[in-house]
Amino acid sequence: METIKWGIIGCGGIAHMFARGLQCLENGTLLAGASRSPGRAEAFAREHGVERAYADYESLVADPDIDAIYIATTHNLHFENAKLCLENGKHVLCEKPFTVNAAQTEELIALAREKNLFLMEAVWTRFLPAIGKLRELLAGGAIGEVLSVKADFSISGDFGAKHRLRNKALAGGALLDLGIYPITFAAIVFGEPPLRIQSSAVMGNTGVDDRSFCLFDYSGGRRAMLSSSFTHHAPTEAIVCGAKGYIRVPWFLGAQELHIHRNGTERETIKLPYGDGENFKFEIAHAMECIAAGKKESDVMPLSETLSIMQTMDALRAQWGLKYAGE
């Protein structure tokens, strides 16, 4: 496959994860990084052996040697950054959450189709081997009819008011940063958007959701119980419950193993590990395969799914009265 040359917009922590993941692959290379913070792009380039460093995004998207761009900025900038890339003829892989709201997502989808460019949300969980195996097990009836999902992603720490998790100006809050993972997991299992959404959130003193608790109803009486928080700690796990057993997925967002409990049998463990620095390589490899094949969107992370999950998160924020700048 032809080598795909990448650029990165934003050179913070998650950009380093992308760079390490790309280094694990043979058919892609990181050509340039761009940051508006003085010296950050240069430091990023030195650390990862990147050839070019730009102090503004406009120079990066104007680089004729770059095929695709990974967007690693804060949530509030995803829309304008992705739009800039698409308008300049670059394929886009945008870190989750894709945008702040569904209206922005719809606009980017329309623009990508107008420009005939590849566009995908970077939700690394969907591309992990363990999640692929989970899909296979559920489709094969390993635990019978699936009736419910429980998933929680909660962390705690000394997050100051200006930290991206708590900063409303950066589209902070537990939902867009953490809660998207339990919602994604439920979507993977059930393959459809919820029919009914019930939720409650604890709003913090910076005006964003510190933690939330959700109950989703799906067709056939199926349900998902989902939660996320950055003010308390809890086991990060997901449990898929069926008529004939259940599957527990420890650290489900970065899943490396599955614990299968079938009624009346000993627990079966399936391990599908990956190495340090390899967690993003699966989504990057998939994006490059799509680009090389001339596809405009992924069949694993289709744009319709991105839009559906953004609509779900819009509905949750509406229940809490949480609006961001410009909404």
Range 175-198 average pLDDT: 98
% of residues, the chain, pLDDT over 70? 100
Dist. CA 315–CA 101, nearest whole Å: 10
Whether 2 shows a pLDDT value over 90: the answer reads no
> Which strands make up the sheet holding 119-122, listed edge to edge?
52-54, 28-34, 4-9, 68-71, 91-95, 119-122
How high is the pLDDT of residue 59? 98
Confidence of residue 215 (pLDDT cuts 50, 70, 90): very high
Domains and CATH numbers, the chain: 4-123 (3.40.50.720), 129-273+309-320 (3.30.360.10)
Annotated catalytic residue 96: yes
List phi, psi (to 5°) of 84.
Answer: -60, -45
| DSSP string computed for 230-270 | SBS----EEEEEETTEEEEEETGGG--EEEEEETTS--EEE
Chain segment 307-320, per-residue pLDDT in tens: 999 999 999 999 99
Is the model's pTM score more than 0.85? Answer: yes
Whether 1 shows a pLDDT value over 70: the answer reads no
Range 200-227 average pLDDT: 97
Confidence of residue 264 (pLDDT cuts 50, 70, 90): confident
Nearest Cα to Cα of residue 324 among 209, 177, 170: 170
Chain segment 39-73, per-residue pLDDT in tens: 999 999 999 999 999 999 999 999 999 999 999 99
Q: Which of 5, 90, 96, 296 is catalytic?
A: 96
Q: Which helix (H) or strand (E) holds 83?
A: helix 78-87
SS3 196: strand
Dist. CA 18–CA 69, nearest whole Å: 11
Whether 178 shows a pLDDT value over 90: the answer reads yes
Q: Do residues 184 and 98 lie in contact, with contact meaning Cβ atoms separated by under 8 Å?
A: no
SS3 291: helix
Confidence of residue 96 (pLDDT cuts 50, 70, 90): very high
Dist. CA 220–CA 284, nearest whole Å: 35
How high is the pLDDT of residue 268? 97
